A and B are shown apart, each in its own frame.
Chain A
Amino acid sequence: MLGQTLREVSAALKQGQITPTELCQKCLSLIKKTKFLNAYITVSEEVALKQAEESEKRYKNGQSLGDLDGIPIAVKDNFSTSGIETTCASNMLKGYVPPYNATVVQKLLDQGALLMGKTNLDEFAMGSGSTDGVFGPVKNPWSYSKQYREKRKQNPHSGSGDSDWLITGGSSGGSAAAVSAFTCYAALGSDTGGSTRNPAAHCGLVGFKPSYGLVSRHGLIPLVNSMDVPGILTRYVDDAAVVLGVLAGHDPKDSTTVPINKPLVLSSLEDVSKLCIGIPKEYLVPELSSEIQSLWSRAADLFESEGAKVIEVSLPHTSYSIVCYHVLCTSEVASNMARFDGLQYGHRCDIDVSTEAMYAATRREGFNDVVRGRILSGNFFLLKENYENYFVKAQKVRRLIANDFVNAFNSGVDVLLTPTTLSEAVPYLEFIKEDNRTRSAQDDIFTQAVNMAGLPAVNIPIALSNQGLPIGLQFIGRAFCDQQLLTVAKWFEKQVQFPVIQLQELVDNCSAILENEKLASVSLKQ
């Protein structure tokens, strides 16, 4: 049941094969069993059960709200949820309970979805590993999969025990781990530089980034206003389409949403011969792992063998996109983080000498090094003497990058095909050897140009690596052609038949571990 698609579960609910409460209980129990993954910051058990009860009533009366009624979902902890703590994994917002729901959250709730909880992330969504939040790092469920463990046993040099667990990627790592471990059917992430697609690639999921302006950002605690979008993480492309259909559309509360209100229907693509796939040559960088390079090549060959036209295109400013992103991101962050002064919400320190002193101390206590570093960098680039040379310059480069994509699409390309990440998920101990900024600069390389141009993009898991870990590829579409993009992605998903993660052993062992822990604590008390 937990491994099925959204539509299959929805049908099962309608037919009474399972009730929303039973489904909710299953997911809650799995959340408890997989607590060590640290995917959830807040588990909203009571809320979810109450929602399940209401959903059950609706099903009994034959009045289900739609495909999402009674379906467990999770939401990244930088979306405001009314009455439920929203922290952004930061001390600044610990204990903050928003008085309203983000529009995307409201839309999901209006469709009857069950909110299982708020998921873990990098602090304020800054990072590419989900390792820098105050609630600790998120562990990749694939670290415990049969597929990975078996490959490790074959390697005599590998360490044993839990110390070599893998990162999920970030910054929506908690959402990715939650979906990957079957604790929910879909999760909301956010995507500013690849924060939904990166963990999707590392956790073997569909990670969808909509066109900028298609989905409302009202209630999403902002990082970079001109690039943020809510992202969708699911196990299947169809599921992502169902969720997108609910979320897309103009929101009067977000004036950066465009007045598009077409319903989203994913048709089956049988024939790709009219399709033109573009392969950007600048994305072939030396740091790309040979495994991913080979899979990328095989994917291109697959399209060609099925009749599609596959051509090489050039996005000449690719090598500057990460630098441009760095300047624009830190500048917007410097502005967006200015609202956290301790006065109206969030953490407040005890200093009462002056407003300025109180603000400064509050912000020192509330933000971690990564956030503070970005604020300071951003302020530097925005100084009067630097504004033209850095900020405006980056805005000009942004236009060049966006134009690169426009030119590629104008040459007849429908969809671009690129890698999503440089390699498969790495062990945490390996990842933390470099600092956050360096890692982000490395890991965002294929994903963040898309945010600068505001295009839709999706990660589709393609195969397991030699180590038994997921590898994904990215498809990029034209602006507001999200439906077409997902249609192509769905065709590709069907061709590659990515394997399901085998976690049963873990879940079974886990209950045994929990039992042993309980027994141990009892005997200690005696």
Chain B
Amino acid sequence: MLARALWLGLRVPLGGPRGFTSKTDPQGSGRITAEVIEHLERLALVDFGSREAVARLEKAIAFADRLRAVDTDGVEPMESVLEDRCLYLRSDNVVEGNCADELLQNSHRVVEEYFVAPPGNIPLPKLDEQEPFPHS
């Protein structure tokens, strides 16, 4: 949680959607607004952690923007190189399994035959609802 708190500490003085667009990056698209950051962090359940990470994302997007130069009119997207073949399906017979014990062994928190998770349906706190980082 420290990384998140540090993040807040960085955010507090700047505020606003301009927040983390790296000013020194000439390719900064300015598209990485605070909303986008928050949205991505929720979807990915991975946080940026630092300004550098945001700058890296902006560079990655700028890099990806080069695709626009390619003319793809009338071209179908390719999902798999094996698209001309049928996927093989196994026959619907149970030949293995019954390995609950082995699988449960790999988890850190187990009760009888259950994987134990913390309570669900509690959304992550929004960034502006969190406590600001205590300045020392």
Partner-B contacts on A (CB < 8 A): 96-97, 99, 212-213, 226, 250, 252, 255-259, 317, 320, 323-324, 326-327, 330, 334, 341-346, 348, 351-361, 363-364, 367, 369, 372-373, 375-377, 379-381, 383, 389-390, 392-400, 402, 435, 437, 441, 452-454, 479
Contacts and interface: CB of A to CB of B under 8 A. Distances in A.
A418 B133 CA distance: 54
A323 B53 contact: no
Interface residues of B, number: 56
B126 interface: no
B26 interface: no
Contacts, number: 180
Contacts of A361: 1
B39 to A, nearest CB: 8
A453 B81 contact: yes
B59 to A, nearest CB: 8
Nearest to A438: B59
B136 interface: no
A454 B57 contact: no
B79 interface: yes
A254 B116 CA distance: 30
A323 B68 CA distance: 11
Interface in B85-136: 85, 87-90, 99, 102-103, 105-109, 115, 117-120, 122-124
A378 B107 CA distance: 28
Query: What does DSSP make chain B's interface, helix, strand, loop or mixed?
Result: loop
Contacts of A320: 66-67, 69-70
Interface string B36-78: 1001110111111100010011011101101111101001111
Given A358-B118, A397-B70, A226 B81 contact: yes
A354 B119 contact: yes
Contacts of B41: 360, 376
Interface of B: 1, 3, 36, 39-41, 43-49, 53, 56-57, 59-61, 63-64, 66-70, 72, 75-82, 85, 87-90, 99, 102-103, 105-109, 115, 117-120, 122-124
Nearest to B69: A320
Contact of A399 (B59, B77, B88, B122): B77
Contacts of B103: 99, 344
Contacts of A376: 40-41, 44, 46, 48, 53, 57
Contact of A402 (B49, B69, B81): B81
Given A256-B87, A363-B46, A343 B78 contact: no
Given A343-B107, A348-B109, A355 B117 contact: yes
A359 B115 CA distance: 14
Contacts of B119: 354-355
B57 A396 contact: no
B57 A255 contact: no
Nearest to A451: B81
B4 to A, nearest CB: 8
Contacts of A395: 77-79
Contacts of B60: 326, 330, 373, 377, 380, 437
A255 B89 contact: yes
